Structure 1
Amino acid sequence: MIFNSFDFVVFLIPVLVLYWLFFKKTAVAQNILLLMASIFFYAWADWRFLFLLIASILINYYLGLKIHNTLKESKQKMLLNIGLVFNIGLLVYFKYFNFFYEGFYKIINVFGTDLEYNTLSILLPLGISFFTFQTLGYLLDVYNEEIEPSNDLLDFSVFIAFFPKILSGPIERAGSFIPQIKKKRELSYATSVDGFRQILWGLFTKVVVAENCAAIANPIFNNYQDKPGSVLVLGAFFYAIQIYADFSGYSNMAIGISKLFGLQLTRNFATPFFSTNISGFWKKWHISLTTWMMDYVFTPLSFTLRKLQKRGLVISIVATFILVGFWHGANWTFIVFGLLHGIYFIPLVYSGTMNTSDIMAKGKWFPSFKEIYKMMALFVLVMMTDVIFRVDSVAMALDYFKGVFSSSIIEYPASYINANTLMIVALIGFFMLVEWVNREKKHDFEISNYNVYLRWSSYIFIFLLILFFGRSSDTFIYFQF
C-alpha cells in the first residue's frame, strides 16, 4: 500500500475523517486511532513481521524505563548493552546474516577446504532499518540523559509505528516526536493545506520525475554491456535524478501526510544537488540518517580519536560513511559506496573547509560561475558514485566504468536523443527550477506566500503534469532498505 496507490487513498481518507471528527477530543483517543491505523498499515504491507514490530516496541519501551529508573551505572550500562545487542541483532540476522555467513565460508575456502554451503532464505522485514535506528537512538538518548523515557506505552508505540514513516523514514528522534503526540492536536487549515501541497509535490516528484527517469535508466543498467560510453553516462545521469526524486518524493509525501494529522516529521532532503562540496551534500541528503550517524557514530568516535587530530577526524568520517553505506544493504557495493563518500571528505578536512556549506547564492536569484562549477563537479562525482550503488556487484561497477571511460564516450547517442528524452529533460529542468526557487524555504514546494491565483495555477499545472506524464509504480527504491 504505497502512497501513490488507490489503496492508500481508500485507507487514508477514513482514518482522517475518524481522527478529526470522532477521535479529536483527547490526545489518547487520537493516539489510539493512529496506532490502530499504523498496525493495519504495517500488517497490510507484510503481516508476517507484525509480531516482530510489536516485540521491538515492548522490549525497547521496557528497557528505556529500566535504564532511567536504575541508579547503579553498571546496571544501566548492562541494560543499554542488552538493548544494543537486541536491536543490532535484529538487523544483523534479518539483513546481514547471509552476507557474513557467505563471507565466512569464502575465507575458509581460500585455504583449500572447499566446503559447500547454502545461504538461508531469510525475508527482510519492511522498515526494519528505520524503526530499529529509532529504537537504538531512543535507548542511547535515555542512557545519556538527553531525554526522559516515555512512561506511556501508547505514546511510545505511536512513535515507533506511525504509518507515514514506518517503511522508509524519516528516522525520527523521540525528543522531537513524542512531545507532539502527548498533546491533543488541533485541526489547522494552514498546516493541512501545506501538507496537501507537500503531498502534491512529492507525488509529482515520484510518478513524473523518478518514474520517467527510471524508464531510461533501468534498460541501460540492465543491458550496459552492449552500450557505448555516452549512453552509460546518460544512464548514470538519469539514475542519479531517479533515486533522488524517488526518495525525496516519498519523504515529502510522508511529511505532508503527517501534517494532515497535526504532526511534523523531520525534513529529509533540502535540495542537496545545490551544494558545492560533499559536506554540504550530506547535510542535505537523507538528513535523518546523516544526523543519526553523526550523533551516534561520528561524534563518539571522533572524541575517542581526538588525540590523532586530523587523522582521527578522517578515520572517524570514513568509518561513519562505511556504516552509512552498509546500512543500505548487505553488499560490497554499498560498502564501497560509503567508503568513497568518506574519502571525498579528506580534502575538506585538511583544507579546513568541511563546515563551509551554506545555501548556494543565498538571497540571490543566480549563483556565481564559481558556484556553478563546484555544483556541477560535485553532481558528476555523486552521479558516478551512484553507479556503484545501483549495480549488483563491484565487478559490474568496474565494468560499467570501463565502458564509460572508453573511446565510445564521444559517440553520439542517437537512439536516445528523441522527443521522449527531451521531454524528460524538460521535466527534470522544471523540477530543479522549483527546488532552486524554494531552496531557502521549509520545503521544496513552500509557496504559501504567493498570491492565491499563482498558487492555484501552480497546483493545476502540477496536477496536469501528473495526469499526462505520470507513470504507475508499485514500489519505492528505499523500501528495500
Structure 2
Amino acid sequence: MKIRNSSNEIISKYWLYFGQLFNIGLLLYFKYVNFFIENINNLLVEIGFDQSLQSLSLIVPLGISFFTFQNIGYLIDVYNEECEPSKNWLEFSIYVIYFPKILSGPIERSYHFLPQLSQNRNFDPILFADGLRQILWGLFAKVVIAENCAFLANPIFNNPAGSNSIELFSGAFFYAIQLYADFAGYSNMAIGISKLLGIQLSKNFSTPYFKTNIADFWRSWHMTLTNWMMDYIFTPLSFTLRKRKKYGLIISIITTFILVGFWHGANWTFIVYGFLHGVYFLPLVLSKDKLSSVKSKTNTKTGILYYLKMFALFILVMLTAVIFNSRSLDHALIFYGELFKSVSLDNLMYLFQPNTLLTIGLIGFFLMIEWVNKKHLHDFEISRWSTLIRWCFYILIFCTILLFGRSSNSFIYFQF
C-alpha cells in the first residue's frame, strides 16, 4: 500500500527498495550467510590469518527461496501497476504460505493467484477429476520413477571412484531422470491438490527433455522460476546493457543463470551449474539477433535431425546435472574423471541387472506417456480417452505404484 499510495515517485521507489532489501536480506541471512563465512575463512587462511569467523546455527524457514521471490515479484508488480495492492491480509498471507506450493513452488505471480481468492469458487467436477489425475501421475513420477532412479544413482554418486564408466554414465542418466521426475512429480501433485480446492496454480514443467535447444529447455523446466528470472533479472539487466548489443546480452544471460544456480543453494557447484547453462546459450545468441527469436520447431518437425538434437541436448543437460548433484567441485571432477575412462565388456553387465532393467522399463513407460501428452495442458491429460480405457489405465498406474514404488523421506527441491 505504501508503494501505491506514496505522494511522489521518489517515496514510492524508496518503499519498493526497502521491501526488496528486506526480503533479499532475509534470504541472504538464513540461506547464504554461512556460505559467505566459510569462503571468507578460506580466504583468511590463504593470506595467513589464524583467526576465523564463527558459523551461525540457523533454522532456515520453510520455503524461503520460494516465498521471498513471490514477495519481491509482488512488490515490483505493484510498483509497475501490473496488479493492485492486496487490502486483505488473510488473502495475502494465503498467497505467501499457500500449503501446496510453499515448499517447492510453483512461484506464483500475485496477479494470477490473488484474484482467485477473492472470487466465488463453485465445485467443478471436471476440474476436480483432472486434479485427481494429476495427483496420481505426480505420485507415480515420485515414488516409482524418481525413487527407483535414486536407488541406483545414489550409490554411484556416493562413490564415483569405485565405479566404472558404464555405471557412472548410468548414474548420471538415472539422476537426470530422478531430478525431473521428483520435481515435476511434486509440481503435478501440488497443482492437482490445488485444483481440488478450486484454485489453479501455474504450470511448472512442459516435457523439457523433449526440447532441441537450451532456450526451449529452460522455457519448459521450472517454468515459474525461469519466467521470474527473465522478467525481474534478465529483462532489466539486458535493457541496461543494450548499448553493448550482443556482449550486453551475453553478460545478461550468464549473470541471470549464475543467479539461477545460486538460488538453488549455497555451494559453488550450483554457481558453476548456472554459469555453464548460461554459456550453453552462446551459440544461440551469436547466431540470432534476439533471444526471443530462438524457438525450436517441436510442433512441426520430428525428423531425424530433431531427434538427434533432442538426444544431444539431453546428454548435455544430463552431464551438467552431475555438478548439480555433487557435494563439491572436487567431487564432480572425480566423477567426470572416472566417467571417461576406457570401457570393457564386463562393465556392460551392469545394464542387465534386474533392478537396472526394471528401472529402464519404467522410465520408458513414463516418457512414453509424457510424449503422448507433450502438447496438452499437463503430462497425464487422458480425459479424452474412453471411460473403460481410462479406468484400466488408472488401475494400471495404481498397481504399478503399489508393486514398484519406493518409500521416500523428502523431495529433492525441499532443500532449496
TM-score interval, normalised by the smaller of the two chains: over 0.9
SS of the equivalent of 1:447 reads coil
Q: Note the C-alpha offset of 1:184.
A: 1.4
Distance 1:417 1:95 in 2: 42
Please tell me the residue identity of whatever aligns with 2:254. Answer: V
Please tell me the residue identity of whatever aligns with 1:383. Answer: M
Tell me the residue number matched to 2:320.
Answer: 385
Q: How do 1:251-262 and structure 2 match up within 5 A? A: 251-262=187-198
Distance 1:71 1:409 in 2: 74
Q: How do 1:122-271 and structure 2 match up within 5 A? A: 122-271=58-207
Distance 1:100 1:413 in 2: 44
Q: Note the C-alpha offset of 1:411.
A: 5.8
Distance 2:27 2:367 in 1: 36
Per-residue deviation, residues 51-107 of structure 1 (Å, max 9, x unmatched):
xxxxxxxxxxxxxx1111112111111111111111001110000001111212222
The answer to whether the 8 Å contact 1:230/1:410 transfers is no
- Residue number among 294, 298, 301 corresponding to 1:356 in the alignment: 294
Tell me the residue number matched to 1:425.
Answer: 360
The answer to whether the 8 Å contact 2:213/2:296 transfers is no
Q: Note the C-alpha offset of 1:255.
A: 0.2
Please tell me the residue identity of whatever aligns with 1:100. Answer: F
Q: Does 1:448 align with 2:383?
A: yes
Q: How do 1:89-100 and structure 2 match up within 5 A? A: 89-100=25-36
Per-residue deviation, residues 323-370 of structure 1 (Å, max 9, x unmatched):
0000000000000000000000000001118433346244x8xx2110
Distance 1:416 1:373 in 2: 23
Tell me the residue number matched to 1:405.
Answer: 340
Q: Note the C-alpha offset of 1:278.
A: 0.4
Q: Note the C-alpha offset of 1:447.
A: 1.1
Q: Does 1:275 align with 2:211?
A: yes
Distance 2:114 2:18 in 1: 23
Tell me the residue number matched to 1:28.
Answer: none
Distance 1:437 1:415 in 2: 30
Tell me the residue number matched to 2:258.
Answer: 322
The answer to whether the 8 Å contact 1:275/1:359 transfers is no
Q: Does 1:374 align with 2:312?
A: no
Tell me the residue number matched to 2:404.
Answer: 469
Tell me the residue number matched to 1:84.
Answer: 20
Q: Note the C-alpha offset of 1:124.
A: 1.8
Distance 2:388 2:362 in 1: 23
Per-residue deviation, residues 437-468 of structure 1 (Å, max 9, x unmatched):
00000000011111111211111111111111
Per-residue deviation, residues 25-75 of structure 1 (Å, max 9, x unmatched):
xxxxxxxxxxxxxxxxxxxxxxxxxxxxxxxxxxxxxxxx11111121111
Distance 1:371 1:411 in 2: 33
Percent identity (aligned): 57
Please tell me the residue identity of whatever aligns with 2:368. Answer: L
Please tell me the residue identity of whatever aligns with 1:153. Answer: W
Distance 1:409 1:274 in 2: 31
- Residue number among 103, 107, 113 corresponding to 2:39 in the alignment: 103
Tell me the residue number matched to 1:15.
Answer: none
The answer to whether the 8 Å contact 1:201/1:445 transfers is yes
Distance 1:305 1:441 in 2: 37
How many residue pairs get aligned? The number is: 414
Q: Does 1:347 align with 2:283?
A: yes
Per-residue deviation, residues 359-408 of structure 1 (Å, max 9, x unmatched):
6244x8xx211011000000000000000000110111111100111224
Could you tell me the TM-score, scaled by structure 1's length?
0.84
Distance 1:236 1:121 in 2: 33
Can you give the 5+ residue segments of structure 2 that lack an aligned partner in the other structure? Answer: none
Distance 1:71 1:244 in 2: 48
The answer to whether the 8 Å contact 1:275/1:357 transfers is no
Please tell me the residue identity of whatever aligns with 2:89. Answer: L
Q: CA RMSD in A?
A: 1.4
SS of the equivalent of 1:309 reads helix
Per-residue deviation, residues 116-139 of structure 1 (Å, max 9, x unmatched):
343222222220001111001000
Please tell me the residue identity of whatever aligns with 1:314. Answer: I
Please tell me the residue identity of whatever aligns with 2:15. Answer: L
Distance 2:2 2:348 in 1: 63
Please tell me the residue identity of whatever aligns with 1:95. Answer: K
Please tell me the residue identity of whatever aligns with 1:103. Answer: N
- Residue number among 364, 378, 395 corresponding to 1:460 in the alignment: 395
Segment drifting more, 120-129 vs 260-269: 120-129
Distance 2:231 2:88 in 1: 26
Distance 1:86 1:411 in 2: 58
SS of the equivalent of 1:119 reads coil
Please tell me the residue identity of whatever aligns with 2:357. Answer: L
Tell me the residue number matched to 1:42.
Answer: none
The answer to whether the 8 Å contact 1:229/1:410 transfers is no
Tell me the residue number matched to 1:20.
Answer: none
